[in-house]
Structure 1
């Protein structure tokens, strides 16, 4: 029963045959000696004496999964059962097997093996037989602990060649050997965690009521994190988190090392987190290292940063680090009088001269210009950089010019000029994201707030954080640590199918699903406490050497502040089924959507207080969950007739492929969005979607799909600033479609069938898949269908 091994179809068929015989009263052989007698004329069967003194057919030797062939030993089964079923107490709260029960199970297993008259025996087959006996004896919980997780050889082969298990689950994954290893590990891990979860919760995920995001990492790591660069600029870099496996670097003393430390910090963090990694207030904290540098030097450093982030295939499964940087065109007022933290010191006027971030306005402006110029140039082929995602912060502090500074520094770009550059980047490549901090609910520049990963909002304010002031001043290493533990998304359309047009029933069903998400969160935290106790999240929990005291410093991530996120999928299809109309088609449908989200937000606050965990609502971050829920409902006898009426995409094509694949061109609308293909004006789309931003406090995004090849940057900026000033939209992006010729490397606007330069049809399309720009070839069928469906807008539509 040791580990994994190689079973065969022949073995499986023999198991079925022997079980059939054993369940047939007329064919039960009650004595092992009689079995040998009946078969001695068919094949010579060696005999051996059992522990009980009987002479019975000899047991074949066992091929173990740790690479040996050994003699059969019944006590191995007994000991494995005694050892493994102890996990039942930890995960299920049920008793482990007793020695007497284990011996009985082992004897029955041995009896069945003898009856099979096998020439060889493998550990997986032994485990299968043990599990059958456990189930027949009414102990599913012991079976779940003792069973194997893995994949058939054929499925493993399909993974190796880039097809099969979740081949299109993540568009950021590359075609390489590491991806194959990740997919195999993912498959094993997902099976493991579903077996260890409470069965009712696991079934809700498998049945499509909820979706546990990054299930493969549920038992080992947190979800995403936004980092405070000051931490690394003070303590230095300890990539492994412990200092025992990798070299430890002291605090960066020059700009180039500071850039490399920033890059390596995000790369190292990917070992402890399932989702994206970002830097809040990137340029402000980096600026002191640029002091006195000429612009070409700063641009070279920004170029190095971008290329490092888009050329390191070191994240999970050999993919690029999913990274983002928040960018302000100047020093925010909140930070202008705060002491600088860099070169291993806090420059607060005590042991060091007083230096504040306000002294580095010049460096931030030049850094912003440099980063925009690097991204505007694109890579060597002229393609856009997909990472780090540039999060352009639209803040109250920069809505008016600092005329005194501008007059004294006429050679430096103004805030307006820098913002214009970001919209030039939007019109050329569509890569920037705009983080609108003007609305009151975003804090209007009074607190710490940022968007990260696939549009997750994190914030900190003086009212909510008793150490807010200490973190601003980096006292005793205190710093801002913002991230999430886990995301669980809800199948909202299914809630409507069950409610049968009853409003109160709909609210109850949504609350029930939220309750189930909380059950996942509680399991997650319990498992993570165990992981942390065993030192398995070292980067997040590191406490480096303090350069001033020589003692252990502050912990990198404030574990207790990580939030739990409930993702929303298909709000539009939910109200469409419930009312007969979509959000953009009926005021009543729209009002119901707002009411539902409000009810869920209020209930999320209640759950937060009841369970002592911060719970936030958000649109789902995943590329596949909208597809998975739609496919699950279509396959479900109870819901299929309802789902067919509201599902988006190519239903006719789906019906033809339904028996062959789950990667189908259908989907529910993400989050609180209007359907991508809704034929409405951009103004109407904004007027509907902006209402949900203050409600969905965990994260949301407004997508504007551009239809023109080269819209005017100034016009786009004016339109965007109207959105920022006059709506509740907190986060938005202008997406541009592009075609890259793989023959002559020409990059053109639009989704073209052939190269506009050389006419080759060897082309790849680029667009925004969910929260980042990526090659369309790696998208799943639903996202490709959504790409076709998207309603695109031209400059004239935005006037």
Structure 2
């Protein structure tokens, strides 16, 4: 057949004359990609073989490409693989061009689909939400085409990896930050419209904290955190107390004929009172100072004034904490009705002022939002467990002997904040927060921490968002303050396991099961190492791009030295090395699914599976160590908190491999190293199974347990669970339980189909998604709804 007479049918149905050059050009690219050059003779021969297969005067593009694959496999299998990957990527690119219009149509029609529900913290059906979603999808497309190096774009689109927050890639911003609020408050700070001076009351401290959250959220795409909320707010409590004492004192003395105005009284009070709980010696000194100014006041009168001021300070502190919580759940930081992704860490300030902050924050959290006390979604609250400060074994035993008395404050404890730990358990039982951070787990300890250091919080680990952990530091002080995550990318662990198992079966053909598993394990671990290295290079490429951002792109974060070192930059300076104290996260998802692919069982009760998953995460750590040495950057391993990703990988793998029972036959992959959400397992078993992985995932991790029934009726059980986590070496843990509220009558409790009081079906169902909450299950994407439905309760 004369090739000049052959007509090619393109994918869109159009016809064009055949060109042998197009075939040889495509084959040549595959040879070059494999590192084989100067192969023109072989390329021409393969092209002729392909043409010799033509039997009809018309042929489709896909049929030609099938013939090219067949001929390449005969002579150069490695080149064939490159050609297949390139072909698959090109198909994905073409599909995306048609998909983008479908996506836009869905946004316009506010369809209830996974694009519109990709972020449970955003109302995507509002005009601002639609604009955010439009922008996100278009910007991702721009990033694929023009910014990402081709190997990384291919790997992402084909589902080997997931580069998180691609829509923010062009902005060069970082993921998250932990604030040194004490520094910001003492220096003051500036925003676009003016400067803020040091606050002088607890209300101002709390309000400015929300303003800092709101302002900086517009310069980053991830979570924001306050690492020592109790320490930072304590000064505001003391200032409020001092003002209350001075105000009441000057008024009282004026009535007695003493000419001491409020300003003079405040100056005197600040000199004498450095705590809201002064002892008799301090009160006597204040009385003497007043008498030296010819202000006659008895000890009884002065004590009464101080008591009144204390009561007013507690009331003001409660209102400040109440306002703080309400603001963070109503104050939008971006378009799309998004509130700030905010977290606060607390629990170790033993001063009277810090303790008051913690206590009133917990009380305000229990009271909730609005007239019906809805559970607040933000801030994510983390209570720090520190031996000798907020916890002790002796105190735990005392509390368990008479738990009701302990909760009522009738038991004396040796750890100064153990009573606040119990109140934190009570709050968790009602409002799902706080979660618990364990500072004495070996990998969370800091060698510089001292109990008598007034700024010991600098050496206490804090976390943010679902689980982001920033602590160790190659390029500066080991601390959580003034640092954050730069970016993170997740590997598709189940895919690596599927490929390893299939290759092992091909190599051994009809070999023994144990031999196949052993070979598959080796292949799997090798592929994990390779993929982690691939991701490490991709993260470095993104870091190099982020470094080129100008300081003026982040006027609040850099201009106010929020990200430490940024304050030294001029507006037109590149941020450069200022970013090198951030972290680069190598993430993974689907550990359970991967183990089922290798062994037919997950790691929850199969020791071989558990050891293989543990060794896989060890391999990732080896890579992190290699790249720390190579680039002197803070690489770490992240137990990825997957929201949209949990379904994305699954859909791609179902299309690639078909349905594999137990591996990809659901709508989601199980998060990171977590035991399968459907697997029956006790609290102790789950905790013991997952705890060793926390030491290996220092970019962030969490272990949760799922309770049935109304936890608020069994606070003692919460305390027992926290002790198990403490004893087993958990780094960060949380306790999930259903929190339902009837919109019609306000009834709270576990509600199944209808409200037991008014029979309404209009129910607000609060559930934890990936470490943070959402207002309603209906705002979750399909994968996370399916996962929540499958979760078993841990007994």
TM-score, reference length from structure 2: 0.68
Residues of 1 paired with 2:465 and 2:324: CA distance?
18
Residues of 1 paired with 2:756 and 2:555: CA distance?
50
Conservation of the 8 A alpha-carbon contact between 1:267 and 1:321: yes
Q: Give the match's secondary structure for 1:703.
A: strand
Structure 2 residue 357 is matched with structure 1 residue 367 = yes
Conservation of the 8 A alpha-carbon contact between 1:489 and 1:566: yes
Change (3 A) 1:510 1:151: closer
Q: Deviations over 1:25-78 (max 9, x none)?
A: 9xxxxxxxxxxxxxxxxxxxxxxxxxxxxxxxxxxxxxxxxxxxxxxxxxxxxx
Residues of 2 paired with 1:427 and 1:480: CA distance?
30
1:756 paired residue number: 756
Structure 2 residue 183 is matched with structure 1 residue 231 = yes
Conservation of the 8 A alpha-carbon contact between 1:608 and 1:614: yes
2:553 paired residue number: 536
Q: 1:396 deviation in Å?
A: 2.1
Match of 1:222 among 170, 174, 194: 174
1:348 paired residue number: none
Residues of 2 paired with 1:396 and 1:682: CA distance?
22
Conservation of the 8 A alpha-carbon contact between 1:420 and 1:717: no
2:528 paired residue number: 510
2:152 paired residue number: 201
Q: Give the match's secondary structure for 1:166.
A: coil
Residues of 2 paired with 1:483 and 1:644: CA distance?
39
Change (3 A) 1:268 1:233: same
Residues of 1 paired with 2:100 and 2:590: CA distance?
34
Structure 2 residue 643 is matched with structure 1 residue 623 = yes
The worse-fitting range, judged by mean Cα deviation, of 557-566 and 284-293 is 557-566
2:728 paired residue number: 727
1:428 paired residue number: 430
Structure 2 residue 130 is matched with structure 1 residue 180 = yes
Q: Deviations over 1:67-92 (max 9, x none)?
A: xxxxxxxxxxxxxxxxxxxxxxxxxx
Q: 1:412 deviation in Å?
A: 14
Residues of 1 paired with 2:441 and 2:789: CA distance?
33
Residues of 2 paired with 1:154 and 1:606: CA distance?
43
Match of 1:210 among 113, 137, 161: 161
Matches within 5 A, 1:620-659: 620-636=640-656, 639-641=657-659, 643-647=660-664, 649=666
1:519 paired residue number: 537
Q: 1:497 deviation in Å?
A: 1.5
Match of 1:388 among 373, 379, 385: 379
Matches within 5 A, 1:399-798: 399-400=391-392, 415-443=417-445, 446=449, 447-460=459-472, 467=477, 480-500=481-501, 501=504, 502-532=520-550, 535-543=552-560, 558-636=578-656, 639-641=657-659, 643-647=660-664, 649=666, 666-750=667-751, 752-774=752-774, 775-793=776-794, 797=795
Q: Give the match's secondary structure for 2:484.
A: strand
Structure 2 residue 139 is matched with structure 1 residue 189 = yes
Residues of 2 paired with 1:709 and 1:628: CA distance?
33
Q: 1:309 deviation in Å?
A: 0.7
Q: Give the match's secondary structure for 2:418.
A: helix
Q: 1:329 deviation in Å?
A: 4.5
Structure 2 residue 106 is matched with structure 1 residue 158 = yes
Structure 2 residue 196 is matched with structure 1 residue 257 = no
Residues of 2 paired with 1:705 and 1:318: CA distance?
30
Q: 1:564 deviation in Å?
A: 0.5
Change (3 A) 1:595 1:364: same
Conservation of the 8 A alpha-carbon contact between 1:330 and 1:365: yes
Conservation of the 8 A alpha-carbon contact between 2:174 and 2:486: yes
Q: Deviations over 1:755-794 (max 9, x none)?
A: 222101122321001111211111111211111211113x
Q: 1:223 deviation in Å?
A: 0.9
The worse-fitting range, judged by mean Cα deviation, of 271-280 and 392-401 is 392-401
Conservation of the 8 A alpha-carbon contact between 1:481 and 1:558: no
Residues of 2 paired with 1:552 and 1:630: CA distance?
44
Conservation of the 8 A alpha-carbon contact between 1:738 and 1:766: yes
The worse-fitting range, judged by mean Cα deviation, of 157-166 and 170-179 is 157-166
Structure 2 residue 324 is matched with structure 1 residue 305 = yes
Conservation of the 8 A alpha-carbon contact between 2:639 and 2:700: yes
Q: Give the match's secondary structure for 1:218.
A: helix
Residues of 1 paired with 2:761 and 2:726: CA distance?
44
Residues of 1 paired with 2:661 and 2:116: CA distance?
26
Residues of 1 paired with 2:621 and 2:568: CA distance?
43
Q: 1:306 deviation in Å?
A: 0.8
- Structure 1: state its 5+ residue gaps: 1-14, 26-140, 240-244, 332-360, 472-478, 650-665
Q: Give the match's secondary structure for 2:486.
A: strand
Q: 1:234 deviation in Å?
A: 2.4
Q: 1:152 deviation in Å?
A: 6.2
Change (3 A) 1:648 1:437: farther
Q: Deviations over 1:701-750 (max 9, x none)?
A: 11111102135554234313422441111111111212232333433324
Residues of 1 paired with 2:13 and 2:739: CA distance?
59
Q: Give the match's secondary structure for 1:211.
A: strand
Residues of 2 paired with 1:755 and 1:692: CA distance?
41
Q: Deviations over 1:68-125 (max 9, x none)?
A: xxxxxxxxxxxxxxxxxxxxxxxxxxxxxxxxxxxxxxxxxxxxxxxxxxxxxxxxxx
Matches within 5 A, 1:26-425: 155-163=103-111, 166-174=115-123, 175-195=125-145, 196-220=147-171, 221-239=173-191, 245-291=192-238, 292=241, 294-315=313-334, 317-331=336-350, 361-380=351-370, 381-398=372-389, 399-400=391-392, 415-425=417-427
Conservation of the 8 A alpha-carbon contact between 1:420 and 1:713: no
Q: 1:410 deviation in Å?
A: 9.8
Q: Give the match's secondary structure for 2:375.
A: coil
Q: 1:168 deviation in Å?
A: 1.4
Q: Give the match's secondary structure for 1:672.
A: coil
Change (3 A) 1:155 1:625: closer
Q: 1:460 deviation in Å?
A: 4.8
- Aligned-residue CA RMSD (Å): 3.5
Q: Give the match's secondary structure for 1:273.
A: coil
Change (3 A) 1:466 1:623: closer
The worse-fitting range, judged by mean Cα deviation, of 385-394 and 570-579 is 570-579
Q: Give the match's secondary structure for 1:238.
A: strand
Conservation of the 8 A alpha-carbon contact between 1:213 and 1:622: no
Residues of 2 paired with 1:778 and 1:18: CA distance?
37
Change (3 A) 1:581 1:285: same
Conservation of the 8 A alpha-carbon contact between 1:159 and 1:165: no
Change (3 A) 1:443 1:224: same
Residues of 2 paired with 1:236 and 1:526: CA distance?
32
TM-score, reference length from structure 1: 0.68
Residues of 2 paired with 1:758 and 1:187: CA distance?
43
Residues of 1 paired with 2:15 and 2:500: CA distance?
47
Residues of 1 paired with 2:662 and 2:321: CA distance?
50
